Amino acid sequence: MVGLPRIEYEVRLRVKPLGVLGRARLGPSYAVGVTTRRILSLGVVLATLGVAAAATADGLPTLPGATGGAATAPPAPSNGALSGERIRQALVTVEVGGRPTGVGVVLEGDGRMLTALSALGSSDTADVRYSDGHTVHARVGHKDAVWDLALLVPLSGRYTKGLMASENDPLTVELRAAPLAGSRPTLGTAKLKGQAAVHAKDGSGLLGANELEGRPPTVGAPLLDPDGRALGIAAHACRDAVDAAGCSEATIIVPIHAIRIFLSRTPANAVPPSPWLGIHGAPDVINGIRGVRVQEIAPRSPAERGGLKGGDGPQADLIVVADGQPIDTPERLAEIVSKHAVGDALKLSVFAGGRYREVTVTLQASP
């Protein structure tokens, strides 16, 4: 940022895969750090399918509350099953060049999406359409050509209602699949044919891959157990017999163990862009009112566009409330900003010149 010291409320995610995966989760856990004048540990852990889970009375892990995103997951029904509507909210349509090419699965509490790499063709970007019609741009943050897997990272406001992994044996439970019907995934019954004699294009074996009976599912579509938990996702592979192009294509179900390994290897930078307010401030008390006084504002920042005023005089804004919560330190403000996604609206109450006013800013990606 030219001409300014480090912006105190710049928020960055520091993500480190933990490597050891929780029993009922699809992927690793991620710790959130906030960059102010120093790196602060907020003690906030995203509910992202990792090991940071509290134990229930029966010893099984449960998801902690989601910390960010435009929508968070409600508690599961008491029997552990997810409603049909909840499942539909976790399924997205992957579109490349304006055309539906596959299905994606939102990772619970995370906002990123798992899909098949073959759904993207040669592209490293895609549009992702949610069940309510909302569309966001996404980029490939991690991929595996052997198992035909890709992790999509949304580039703006995102939803976090997602799916968890199932511990059931897919051969012993009733199954559902979610292939595309037109432009939306649609739940339907499914039945396994059995393990597939397949390999990757490079010849690597695909241990534990299954096939479904009947019409092959849409790539990226999940296979679900009766509780709405994921048993795998559909992807492309090669049969032992090859055609002139070197691969007789088959659609398989990638098992959960392969998905967990894939997610555990996610690069640390495969995260959504951090939300940014764009101010430099300090704790202050004016007329007995506590808050964070805006000292400097970054050019073309959300703070500038929202009309916040900085400086050392009485006209400088004192931020006293953000998202309905009282603010008394820069760290507290940074924590609240970090719970949002890029594109979210952040409502602030500020005090200046002896009066209060309300300000709404639209958060941008951190520069």
pLDDT in tens, 45-70: 222 222 222 222 222 222 222 233 44
Higher pLDDT, 62 or 292: 292
The residues, ordered by sequence, that sit 6+ positions from 220 with a Cβ below 8 Å of its Cβ are 94, 102, 103, 104, 105, 114, 115, 116, 119, 233, 234, 235
Cβ–Cβ under 8 Å, residues 82 and 91:
no
pLDDT of residue 316: 93
* Helices marked H in 163-320: 256-264, 302-305
Burial 235-262 (b: 16+ CB within 10 A, else e): bbbbeeeeeeeebeebbbbbbbebbbeb
Query: Is the pLDDT score of 114 beyond 80?
Result: yes
- Contact by Cβ (8 Å): 101, 119: yes
Domains 175-255 and 275-365 share a fold: no
Phi, psi of 256 (to 5 degrees): -60, -35
Task: State how far the Cα of 191 lies from the Cα of 213, in Å rounded to an integer.
Answer: 6
Q: How many angstroms separate the CA atoms of 254 and 231, rounded?
A: 8
- Between CA 161 and CA 43, with CA 326 as vertex, the angle to 5 degrees is 50
pLDDT category at 77 given cuts 50, 70, 90 is: very low
Domains in the chain: boundaries: 175-255, 275-365
Which range, of 10-19, 219-228, 326-335, averages the lowest pLDDT? 10-19
Mean pLDDT, residues 85-96: 92
Q: How confident is the model at residue 321 (pLDDT cuts 50, 70, 90)?
A: very high
Instruction: Report the distance separating Cα 264 and Cα 236, nearest Å.
Output: 21
Of residues 9 and 275, more confidence is placed in: 275
Whole-number mean pLDDT of the chain? 79
What pLDDT score was predicted for residue 109? 83
Share of the chain above pLDDT 70, in %: 76
Q: What is the pLDDT of residue 62?
A: 25
Residue 9: per-residue pLDDT: 36
Given a cut of 70, whether residue 364 has pLDDT beyond it is yes
Distance from the Cα of residue 17 to its chain's centroid: 14
- CA 154 – CA 141 distance, rounded (Å): 9
Report the amino acid identity of residue 274.
S
CATH architecture designation of domain 275-365: Roll (2.30)
The predicted-structure confidence for 190-227, as pLDDT tens digits, reads as follows 999 988 889 998 889 899 999 999 888 999 999 999 99
Q: Given this structure, which CATH class describes domain 175-255?
A: mainly beta
Tally Cβ neighbours within 10 Å of residue 124: 11
